[in-house]
Amino acid sequence: MSPVPVSPRRVFGVDFSAARDAGSHIWICRAHPGSDGIRVDSIDPLSELPGGAVDRETALPALVRKVTESPRSAWGFDFSFGLPKAILGALAPGVSSYGDQLGVVASFAQADTLRAQCIGVSPDTELRRRTDDEASTPFSPYNLRVYKQTFHGLTEVVRPLRSRPEVAVLPFDALSQAGVQAGERLPFNRAASGTVPHIYLLEVCPASVLAKLDYPTRGYKGGGEPATEARQGILRRLIDDGLVRPMSRAQRNRIIDDEEGDALDAVLAAVGAWRGTRDYDHAALRADPMYGLEGFVYT
Q: How many beta carbons lie within 10 A of that of residue 165, not counting itself?
A: 12
pTM: 0.94
pLDDT score recorded for residue 179: 41
Residue 262 pLDDT greater than 80, yes or no: yes
pLDDT score recorded for residue 196: 76
% helix / strand / coil in the chain, to the nearest 5?
A: 45, 15, 45
Half-sphere exposure of 137 (CA within 13 A, CB side): 26
Using one digit for the tens of pLDDT, what is the confidence trace for 158-208? 999 999 999 999 999 987 654 444 344 546 655 556 667 889 999 999 999
Q: What is the DSSP letter of 158?
A: I
Identify the burial level of 9 via C-beta atoms within 10 angstroms of its C-beta, where 0-12 means exposed, 13-18 middle and 19 or more buried.
middle
Mean pLDDT across 40-57: 97
Q: What phi and psi values does residue 38 have, to the nearest 5 degrees?
A: -95, 145
Min mean pLDDT across 38-42, 181-185, 263-267, 279-283 is at: 181-185
DSSP, collapsed to helix, strand or coil, labels residue 244 as strand
DSSP, collapsed to helix, strand or coil, labels residue 93 as coil
Mean pLDDT across 16-26: 98
Min mean pLDDT across 4-8, 86-90, 145-149, 204-208 is at: 4-8
Using one digit for the tens of pLDDT, what is the confidence trace for 54-80? 999 999 999 999 999 999 999 999 999
Domain spans of the chain? 10-82+145-217+268-293
- The residues, ordered by sequence, that sit 6+ positions from 68 with a Cβ below 8 Å of its Cβ are 161, 164, 166, 167, 199
Identify the burial level of 56 via C-beta atoms within 10 angstroms of its C-beta, where 0-12 means exposed, 13-18 middle and 19 or more buried.
buried
**pLDDT, averaged across the chain:** 92
Using one digit for the tens of pLDDT, what is the confidence trace for 79-89? 999 999 999 99
Q: Which residue has the higher pLDDT, 36 or 54?
A: 54
Report the Cα–Cα distance between both ends of the chain, in Å, rounded.
13
Mean pLDDT across 14-42: 96
Q: Report whether 1 contacts 287 (CB < 8 A).
A: no
State the alpha helices, DSSP H only, in the chain. 22-25, 56-68, 85-91, 98-106, 111-121, 130-135, 147-153, 159-162, 206-212, 225-240, 249-257, 262-279, 282-287, 291-294
Cα–Cα distance for residue pair 102/260, rounded to 1 Å: 30
Residue 5 pLDDT greater than 80, yes or no: no
pLDDT score recorded for residue 184: 46
**Residue 7 pLDDT level (bands cut at 50, 70, 90):** confident
Maximum C-alpha span of the chain: 55
Q: How many residues does the chain have?
A: 299
Mean pLDDT across 90-114: 95
Cα–Cα distance for residue pair 197/220, rounded to 1 Å: 36
State CA 284 to chain mean position distance: 19
